[in-house]
Structure 1
Amino acid sequence: MAELSAGRQRQLEQLVERLGLPSTAKVQWSLLDLALTHVSYSAADNYEQLEFLGDAVLRLFVAQHLWVNDRNDTVGQWTAVRSVLVSDRVLSKIAYTFGFERFLLVAPSAARDTKGETSRLANTLEAVIGALYLSTHDFELVAPWLKPELEQQAEQVRSDPTYQNYKAALQQWTQGHYRLLPEYRVEEQIASQTPLSRFSAEVWLQGECLGVGTGPSRKSAEKAAAQIAYSKLSAGYVFEPVIESLPGRDD
């Protein structure tokens, strides 16, 4: 692997500063550089292998956190919380918070692919986790900045009876009360100012729009719309489905 230029070295040092790590942190700079190199920029040297490793490290980190802090919960509850914490939506949000996109080496053609930005940022975060873990072979360089972010997200998940699986909760509600399935209508917002609201989704139930949400992906936008609809219905909103008369029947 080529030696880092002075400019690239300074960029990586700035990212480490953003993460709140000390200047004396034992970072393997070549690994961090690799973690911030997209496959479109270099087919030979890129973040894919570090992403693979970082995914495993992240899951271990989350599992250990749940073991220490949520021993009274069931494995099913742990699984529900973990699924949210390791999702592309949460990981890309964390990456965006620290400005990872400013340090990622990516080809112009891939950078213009805004549809893939959420997964790209999530993958980058996992790769950075992998690089920092390999630098010390423990969580020394990972925990200080990642733990507060994940704790905040975990608290939101635990306080939600649906564990943020709003699409499933909404479907269960509509089927149980009305024997109907919700319909999602999604549009890409070309003029969106931020990738976090790239898509807009509406959730409909037999001709009535019950919720509108936005997100960096179609799935996340649908989830945001489902959350609004579920909250609306569970709070007591009365939905009155249209009952169509059978042909030839006079009531």
Structure 2
Amino acid sequence: MNQEQRPMQQLWDALNQPSKPLEKSDKALLQEALTHTSSGLNPHHEQLEFLGDAVLRLTASEFIASAYPLMPVGERSSLRAQLVSDRWLAELGSTIEIERWWQIGPKASGDATAAGTIRAELSEALIGALYRINGLTAVQQWLTPYWQRSAEAVLSDPHRGNCKSALQEWSQGKGMGLPAYSSEEMNQRHGDPRRFRCRVTLPPKLAAEGWGRSRREAEQQAARAALDQLTCS
């Protein structure tokens, strides 16, 4: 079902927490967060994931307010959406190598396309568990370094992660109307980065293509590809 399990103390260190012996109840919460429903075991991650979702949004809001006190509310909302996204959570899980501790079912283990989704779900559950163990400050201590890097990357992107809006603003500014998007589901494998294909066109000659795990992601990738064409032209 899984590769050799690592000690929970090593996970605690990966969460950037002060060195201390973990209580039995703490280890139980961490194990619950890392037990995916696909394993068939109980308790599993879902309740902690639900809690982690709320904690993540709150602590991300506090991070943005502290790091960017002059940022308008609308821009804060846009930045927060990037810092709490499933993609961001999946990257977080990959960074800490969450698979060293997770428990997942054999079918999920053999589905490489589902790995990103599972990483995101269990990372959010870990946030819930950490909150239960040590409170908001512990969550902030773990996530702030990752948020700092991610926020800098988002804010340095001229499209701020929303390529569809950027392409629409450009086309309307040129009096060319709205881009047209056409999406197609290529397979039904959940989490497959090439599940959806999207083509965007804009008269007279602009056309680009993008792929994604969802229609929305494929549309964003198609819009980014179109913007890249405009930049190079």
Residue 175 of structure 1 and its aligned partner are, at CA, apart by 5.1
Q: Tell me, what secondary structure is at the counterpart of 1:227? A: helix
CA contact (8 A) 1:20 1:145 kept: yes
Instruction: Mark the CA change 1:94 to 1:215 in structure 2 (over 3 Å): closer, same or farther.
Output: farther
2:154 equivalent to 1:165: no
Residue 170 of structure 1 and its aligned partner are, at CA, apart by 2.0
Q: Tell me, what secondary structure is at the counterpart of 1:130? A: helix
Q: Tell me, what secondary structure is at the counterpart of 1:33? A: helix
Distance in 2 (CA, whole Å) between partners of 1:116 and 1:219 is 18
In the alignment, which of 1, 9, 33 is matched to residue 13 of structure 1? Answer: 9
Distance in 1 (CA, whole Å) between partners of 2:216 and 2:113 is 12
1:20-51 residue CA offsets vs partner (Å, 9 max, x unmatched) = 44442656110000000111223641111100
2:161 is matched by which residue type in structure 1?
Q
Instruction: Mark the CA change 1:13 to 1:218 in structure 2 (over 3 Å): closer, same or farther.
Output: farther
Instruction: Mark the CA change 1:217 to 1:21 in structure 2 (over 3 Å): closer, same or farther.
Output: farther
CA contact (8 A) 2:35 2:45 kept: yes
Backbone CA RMSD of aligned residues: 3.1
Residue 75 of structure 1 and its aligned partner are, at CA, apart by 1.0
Distance in 2 (CA, whole Å) between partners of 1:222 and 1:11 is 42
CA contact (8 A) 1:89 1:216 kept: no
Q: TM-score, normalised by structure 2?
A: 0.79
Distance in 2 (CA, whole Å) between partners of 1:114 and 1:154 is 28
In the alignment, which of 77, 80, 88 is matched to residue 79 of structure 1? Answer: 77
Residue 184 of structure 1 and its aligned partner are, at CA, apart by 4.7
For residues 20-35 of structure 1, the aligned pairs below 5 Å read 20-24=16-20, 26=22, 28-35=26-33
Q: Tell me, what secondary structure is at the counterpart of 1:178? A: coil
Instruction: Mark the CA change 1:136 to 1:26 in structure 2 (over 3 Å): closer, same or farther.
Output: farther
Tell me whether 153-162 or 127-136 shows the greater mean CA deviation: 153-162
1:71 is matched by which residue type in structure 2?
P
1:204 is matched by which residue type in structure 2?
V
Partner residue, 2:201? 205
1:151-170 residue CA offsets vs partner (Å, 9 max, x unmatched) = 11111222334321112322
Distance in 1 (CA, whole Å) between partners of 2:21 and 2:148 is 23
Partner residue, 2:127? 129
Distance in 2 (CA, whole Å) between partners of 1:11 and 1:213 is 41
Q: Which runs of 5+ in 2 are unaligned?
A: none
Distance in 2 (CA, whole Å) between partners of 1:112 and 1:171 is 40
Distance in 2 (CA, whole Å) between partners of 1:165 and 1:25 is 44
Q: Tell me, what secondary structure is at the counterpart of 2:7? A: helix
Q: Which runs of 5+ in 1 are unaligned?
A: 1-6, 190-194, 238-251
Partner residue, 1:37? 35
Q: TM-score, normalised by structure 1?
A: 0.74
Distance in 2 (CA, whole Å) between partners of 1:53 and 1:114 is 27
Distance in 1 (CA, whole Å) between partners of 2:21 and 2:162 is 38
**Is the radius of gyration larger for structure 1 or structure 2?**
1
Distance in 1 (CA, whole Å) between partners of 2:194 and 2:11 is 25
In the alignment, which of 147, 151, 170 is matched to residue 150 of structure 1? Answer: 147
Distance in 2 (CA, whole Å) between partners of 1:78 and 1:109 is 39
For residues 54-73 of structure 1, the aligned pairs below 5 Å read 54-73=52-71
Aligned residue pairs, count: 224
2:29 is matched by which residue type in structure 1?
L
Residue 147 of structure 1 and its aligned partner are, at CA, apart by 1.1
Partner residue, 1:249? none
